[in-house]
Structures are given as structure tokens and as C-alpha cells.
Amino acid sequence: MEILLILLIALIAITILFYNKLVKLSLKVKESNASIDVMYKQRFDTLPNLIQAVKGYMKHEQGVLENVTKMRNILATPGISEEEKHHANQVLSQELPKLLAVAENYPELQASQNFLHLQQTIVHLEENIAAARRTYNAMVNAYNTFIKSFPGVLFASVFGYKESVLIEATAEERQNVRVEF
Amino acid sequence: MRTNEEFNHFYAQELHAQTQRLERQRDDNKPALTKHRNQSIIASVIYLIIVFILFKSSIFSVFPLVIVGLVAVVFVFYFRHVNKFQKKMNDQIKSSLIPDLLHFVEPNLTYRPSEFIPKQDFLASNLFAEHQVDIYNGDDLIGGYVGDTNIKFSELNVKQRYKDSEGETKEKTTFKGLFFVMDFNKSFEGSLYALPKMVKNNFFSKFMGQRSTSSGERLEQVDLENGVFNDTFLVRTTDQLLARYVLTPAFMEALMRYKTKSDYIPMFSFSEGVMYLALRTNREHLEFNLRKGIDQEMVRTYFEDINLSLQIVEELQLNTRLWG
């Protein structure tokens, strides 16, 4: 009887331990995902000012600017799906460094304090977004490894924890966001 | 940053005459040093004869004192003169040759031979937080701007005192090598520390290094995507996102390249926008050895030391300013 009691207590303790670990890992995934959203939102808010600042100058490179504007409009659409949101943000991460690079061809633009400030803000945000995505992937990896390996797999299935999806890094994210001033 | 070819050219044009003059001075002093050496041998023999006559029967009981006396005789008759001459030569090299060389490598830097990185910078790095700093000295402080980056570095020799099993106070070297304090090109709050992993096994590495900042903030271990980097460094931070903001894939590769070039595994930390980097070289830098000739090869070792130090700024692209 005593042995059974000890085993039961041990089982409850182990369950609590693993459940807490599951909660902690999944919370970290959620937190890191929320950080990305916060940064996306900051970028989304900065874009109108950037578009306004450069559109008067860029006569020949309308393609990049149009793409950025289009993606922002998609993100502003109510009821947009997570997939569409993700795609639009990926495209923005690819297009914004191009837009800033093109801006270098315009000395008047480079002389504008407003533009320089926006440029710095965007570079800072892009670097933070890249870091946040890498952090998210690291958290997802830790979480997925835990729920796929024994005995985590047992507890994950009992408590209904499912595998999380990694964010694929863009080519720009594999490099430093580098803009020469 | 200068190439070897540029150095050879500069040496031939600007430093050759100076090193020849110093080498002549060293040569001219050789007979005097030989005379002092011979005097010290004669004095030692006379001293030992006197000691033997005076303490013939109890020579073994006073043996430690005899040795101390012998060392004193050799010092007075020989090493005192060697040290004096070595210091004189060192002062000349450090007051003219090294500043000229430094000006050639990077004109914006200044050289202060007797100064070194302040103790508060060393402590602020938190890289040696587990060690008590009892003896702190160094020399050869170089500082100034490399492009837009404010950098200072010097040789440091830091020791800790401890009591051995017999209660005797002894000294242990905590750090001996080059220590750098540099502006970092990104603005951030929080701290990050990276120490070389003594063991690649992650289980044991968990117990290495500090687990909190000097202000008591908890540090957590970071596993980064670069496997080689992960095997080489144990990274701890106050914020996982900050760690990845600072240690971008390109930055990690640059650090690994610098490690390969310098042959030393750097220890580094970031705190409030400043990067601290320690290279445990365990040797003296920019020093003159009386036994070796003053020639192009000696100056080349100085050049390589300075060049390697400044390579950090270039390799890590610390000059890429994001904040004007």
C-alpha cells in the first residue's frame, strides 16, 4: 500500500514537472511570436512615412515602391489570414532593403534628416525582426524537440500540445541587414 | 590595417635608420655588460669562499641564507645594470619607434606606454566575475578612433591571491593578454557574455561561467544556429532576442574568422552598447628583449600585434554605423 502511495505521489510529481515544462516551453514560443508581431506592427506604422518621403524622388524605380505599398495595403486589409500576413511580411523584409539601397542614388534624399531618421528606424526594425524570428525558431525547436522525444511525447499527447511551425528565413535574414550610409 | 608589403616599405623608408641606431647602442653596451657579468662571477666566488670559511661547520644550516646572499651579489653586480640598460632601451623604443609604427598603421590612435585599461572597465566587462581582482596592472595603452569606432586596448596582467593547503598566500593569474574596450555599432540595453567552452559537452558547460550580471540580473544560456560557434563559445544573456540581435549569423562567422587568424579564442561581452573583448595571449606585447637584436623582425612582431588588434574593428565591421 505504501509503495503504491509513493508511486502515485511520484507519478503526480513527474506529471506536474512535465506539464509545467510543456507550459513553459509553449509560452516561450507564444512570447517570441508576439515579439515578432510587435515589430511587424512598428514596421507597418513606419511604412506610410517612408513611402511619403521617397515617392517624390523615385521616378525610375517605381516597382520596388509599388511592391512595398501593395504589401502594406494587404496587411491593412481587415480579416487577413495568418498565411497572407506572413507572406506580406516576408515580401516586405525582402523589398525594404532594396528600397533603402535604391534611395542611395538620390543625394537630395540622403540629405534629408527625415529620411535618414526613417532609414535608421527601418534598419533597426529589420535587424530586430530577423533576431525575433531566429529567437522564435530557437524556441520552437526546443519545444518541438521536447514534445517529440520520450517521455515528453506522452505528456504532450495527453495534454493536447501540438508541434509548432518554424519560420523560414529569408535570404536577407541569413545575412546582416547592411545599409551603407 | 596595413599589409606586410606596406610594412616592409615603411620600415625601409622610415624605421630602418632608427632601428640601426638602437641596435648600435645595444652593441656598444655589450662590453660593459660583459664586464659586469664577469665582476658578478668574481664577486660570487669571493662571497662563497668567505661564507665557506665563516660557516664551515654549519654551512648546511645557513644554506637558505647563503642562496639569498648569492642572489643579492649577482643582482648588485650584474642584473641591476642589465635592468637599467633594458629600461633605457625600452623607453627609447616606446617613445619613438612604436609611436611611429602606430602612426603608420592608424594615424588617429595614440600610444601611452605606461598606462593601461582602467580597472572599472575590466570589472564592467564581467568576463572574470568569478575571480577576485587582487593585483591589477598592465601597460601599452593604445586608443582613439578607427573610422567611427572608439577603441582602446592594452596589455593586462590580473592576478588573484589565495591561500594554499598550508595556509600560505599565493598568486594565480586570472588574465594575461590583450584587453579591448570598443564602441559597438548597435544600440541596445541588456548584457551578453561569451566565454570559450572548455568542454564541448553542453551538460558540463552549463556549470561554467557566471550566471548573473554584476547587477544581479539572471543570465540564461543561448543556443545559436551556428554549430561551430556553439561548440566554441558558451553564450549567456539577459535577453534571448538581444543575443540574436547582437550575434547575427554574419557576426558569428566574423568572430570565428578572427579566432582562426589570431590563434586565440576571444572572450567577449556586450553591455549597454559597449563591446569588451579579451585575448588571453599569456605573453608580453610590444616589449624589448635585450638578448635579441633590434631589427626588422622585432619591429614586425610589434606591427603584427597592433595589426591583429585593429583587425577586430574591420573583421567585425564595427565601423558600419547604424546610429549616426
pLDDT level of residue B115 (50, 70, 90 thresholds): very high
Q: What's the pLDDT at B201?
A: 47
Nearest CB to A181: which of B224, B241, B321? B321
pTM: 0.79
Measured between alpha carbons, how far is A39 from A48 in angstroms, rounded to an integer? Answer: 15
The most confident of A161-175, B176-190, B200-214, by mean pLDDT: B176-190
Q: Which residues pair with A55 in a beta bridge?
A: none
Residue B186 CB coordination number (10 Å): 21
Contact check, Cβ <8 Å, B324/A181: yes
Q: What's the pLDDT at A181?
A: 35
Average the pLDDT over each of B25-34, B48-57, B121-130, B209-218 and give the range with the smallest value.
Answer: B209-218
* ipTM, 2 dp: 0.76
B158 Cβ contact partners less than 8 Å away, ≥ 6 residues apart: B122, B128, B131, B133, B135, B136, B173, B174, B175, B176
* pLDDT (tens digit per residue) in A137-153: 999 999 999 999 888 88
Q: Given a cut of 80, is residue A21 above it in pLDDT?
A: yes
Question: Which residues of chain A are within 8 Å of residue B317 when distances are taken between CB atoms?
Answer: 176
Q: What's the pLDDT at B289?
A: 83
Measured between alpha carbons, how far is B187 from B183 in angstroms, rounded to an integer? Answer: 10
* pLDDT (tens digit per residue) in B227-237: 889 889 999 99
Tell which wins on pLDDT, B61 or B166.
B166
Q: Given a cut of 60, is residue A38 above it in pLDDT?
A: yes
A123 Cα to chain B: minimum distance (Å): 8
Q: Given a cut of 80, is residue B84 above it in pLDDT?
A: yes
Sheet holding B267-271, edge to edge: B109-112, B135-146, B149-163, B169-183, B274-279, B267-271, B191-196, B233-237, B220-222
Q: What is the mean predicted confidence (pLDDT) over B292-309? A: 90
Q: What's the pLDDT at B77?
A: 75
Measured between alpha carbons, how far is A22 from A135 in angstroms, rounded to an integer? Answer: 18
A116 Cβ contact partners less than 8 Å away, ≥ 6 residues apart: A110, A181, B324
pLDDT level of residue B100 (50, 70, 90 thresholds): very high
B220 and A CB contact within 8 Å: no
B202 and A CB contact within 8 Å: no
First vs last C-alpha separation in chain A:
76
User: How many helical (H) and strand (E) elements, i.e. helices and strands, does chain A have?
Assistant: 7, 0
Q: Given a cut of 60, is residue A174 above it in pLDDT?
A: no
* Interior angle at CA B155, CA B149 and CA B160, nearest 5: 125
Residue written as grid cell 615603411: B10
When the pLDDT of each residue in chain B is averaged and rounded to a whole number, the result is 85
pLDDT level of residue A179 (50, 70, 90 thresholds): very low
Q: What is the mean predicted confidence (pLDDT) over B272-300? A: 88
Measured between alpha carbons, how far is A116 from B321 in angstroms, rounded to an integer? Answer: 12
| Residue in B266, B271, B270, B258 with CA at minimum distance from that of residue B310 | B258
Nearest CB to A127: which of B223, B245, B321? B245
Nearest CB to B244: which of A123, A135, A174? A135
Q: What's the pLDDT at B1?
A: 74
Q: Given a cut of 90, is residue B8 above it in pLDDT?
A: yes
pLDDT level of residue A176 (50, 70, 90 thresholds): very low
Is B195 within 8 Å of B210 (Cβ atoms)? no
Contact check, Cβ <8 Å, A132/B241: yes
Q: What's the pLDDT at B214?
A: 63
Residue A57 CB coordination number (10 Å): 18
Q: Given a cut of 90, is residue A81 above it in pLDDT?
A: no
Measured between alpha carbons, how far is A54 from A114 in angstroms, rounded to an integer? Answer: 10
Burial A170-180 (b: 16+ CB within 10 A, else e): bebbeebbebe
| Residue in B244, B240, B239, B246 with CA at minimum distance from that of residue B274 | B246
Q: What is the CA radius of gyration of chain A?
A: 23
B216 and A CB contact within 8 Å: no
Q: Which residues pair with B278 in a beta bridge?
A: B179, B267
Burial class (CB in 10 A: 0-12, 13-18, 19+), A89: buried
3-state secondary structure of A106: coil
Measured between alpha carbons, how far is B306 from B1 in angstroms, rounded to an integer? Answer: 9
Q: What's the pLDDT at A178?
A: 42
Measured between alpha carbons, how far is A149 from B189 in angstroms, rounded to an integer? Answer: 36
Q: What's the pLDDT at B262?
A: 82
Q: Given a cut of 70, is residue A54 above it in pLDDT?
A: yes
pLDDT cut 70: percent of chain B above it? 92
* CA nearest to B320 within chain A: A180
pLDDT cut 90: percent of chain A above it? 19
Q: Given a cut of 90, is residue B317 above it in pLDDT?
A: no
Type of residue numbered B300: R
Q: What's the grid cell of residue B312?
A: 577586430
Contact check, Cβ <8 Å, B240/A176: no
Q: Which residues pair with B146 in a beta bridge?
A: B149
B229 and A CB contact within 8 Å: no
Q: What's the pLDDT at A170?
A: 58
When the pLDDT of each residue in chain A is averaged and rounded to a whole number, the result is 83
Q: What is the mean predicted confidence (pLDDT) over B117-121? A: 95
